[in-house]
Amino acid sequence: MSTQTLTERPSRSTLFDGLTRYVPIGATVALLVALYLGGVANYRNFDNPQVIAKLFIDNASLLVIAVGMTFVILSGGIDLSVGSVMAFATMACAWLTVEAGISAPLAVALVLAFGTAWGLLIGSVIHYFHVQPFIATLVGLFLFRGLTLQISDTDVSMRDVEFFHWGMTHVDFGEVRDGGFWLPYLSFLAFAVVIISFVVLHYTRFGRGVYAVGGSESSALLMGLPVARTKIGVYAISGFCAALAGVLAAFATKSANPLANVGAELDAIAAVVIGGTLLTGGAGFVLGTVAGVMVWGMLNTLIAFQGNLSSWWARIVMGVLLLAFILLQRVLARSGEKRRT
């Protein structure tokens, strides 16, 4: 056997491993395209650009918390508190501006700072006290849902707070009836979160550390990477994103519902996994998460166009897809292990 043959085999295996990383996100994009084409083939006006724009309008808050969840899952963790933190942030905005009389910009800043501080706290508990992320963040799920209900057990309106009036102010991209569409400013804020997160994960030392810690925390420690800073940082990002999602919800609805966003953490986890991020950490993409959120939105849109189906069908299909993508991840992981051995 020649020396050339011996040196080619590892390179081919490495190339195959590299391509395997893109299989889940490729499957997600293919599924999204298939759902859209199916809608176009079966429903009138489904090809209107506003239908696609509406995916980003209706799911702006979910997209933001899913991006924060992507950081956490990439690092090998999980955050079950984001839905409750989001609801608490919305209610806190309402109480601070309506009841306490605090200026709305200051209230928003306080809410965002609080969400980040919560993330720092729970990240520190997870790292320094070696508490399982599932258990530690479950505390936040119950704590903030309870605090939200303590503030008010009924809806609180923010329609008289002028600061929140621009929430659904939109930018027109042509006339809708002529093939144009419109997007509110809130959607652009969600896009900004995606872009910043993409840059941080793929072009900064912190982002490379997130992937390294998720791949193998012990190896990251041996390489001298700041594991503590990275693990705490991803939960701070998740807390900030959850609070920001709550602020976006406040702008969008101009009201706060104490029972809103129940189960949002599970929707975010499902979107991240369907978007191609490994639940065990170390592999995934922010843009994959965007595709996962769009799949969720597309399912709801198809059900709305059908008209005679319960919205629960979207969750049923999402459950089936989640199981399929988890199994796909396991198949790809096992095939990689076999090649390496």
CATH 3.40.50 holds for 23-336: no
The percent of residues in the chain predicted with pLDDT above 70, rounded, is 91
One-character DSSP codes across 40-55: HHHSTTTT-HHHHHHH
Structure tokens belonging to residue 273: 């996994």
Average pLDDT over residues 334-338: 65
Structure tokens belonging to residue 341: 């051995």
pLDDT classification of 6: cutoffs 50, 70, 90? very low
Tell me if 73 sits within 8 A of 277, measured CB to CB: yes
Structure tokens belonging to residue 17: 């491993």
Q: Which of 47-51, 219-223, 287-291 has the highest mean pLDDT?
A: 287-291
Tell me if 272 sits within 8 A of 73, measured CB to CB: yes
Report the alpha-carbon distance of residue 305 to residue 321 in Å, rounded: 21
- The pLDDT, as a whole number, for residue 12 is 52
pLDDT classification of 7: cutoffs 50, 70, 90? very low
**Which range has the worst mean pLDDT, 99-113, 203-217, 226-240, 318-332?**
318-332
Q: Cβ contacts of residue 107 below 8 Å, gap of 6+?
A: 92, 93, 96, 97
Model confidence pLDDT, tens digit, residues 15-41: 445 567 778 888 889 999 999 999 999
Model confidence pLDDT, tens digit, residues 99-112: 888 898 999 999 99
For the chain, give every domain's residue range: 23-336
pLDDT classification of 217: cutoffs 50, 70, 90? confident
Tell me if 326 sits within 8 A of 273, measured CB to CB: yes
Tell me if 49 sits within 8 A of 295, measured CB to CB: no
Report the alpha-carbon distance of residue 329 to residue 306 in Å, rounded: 32
Q: HSE (CB half, 13 Å, CA atoms) of 139?
A: 13
Average pLDDT over residues 235-246: 96
Give the E-state strand segments of the chain in sequence order: 156-157, 170-173, 181-184, 255-256
Structure tokens belonging to residue 316: 């049923």
pLDDT classification of 3: cutoffs 50, 70, 90? very low
The verdict on pTM exceeding 0.85 is yes
Task: Look up residue 57 and give its DSSP letter.
Answer: H
Structure tokens belonging to residue 28: 């997600």
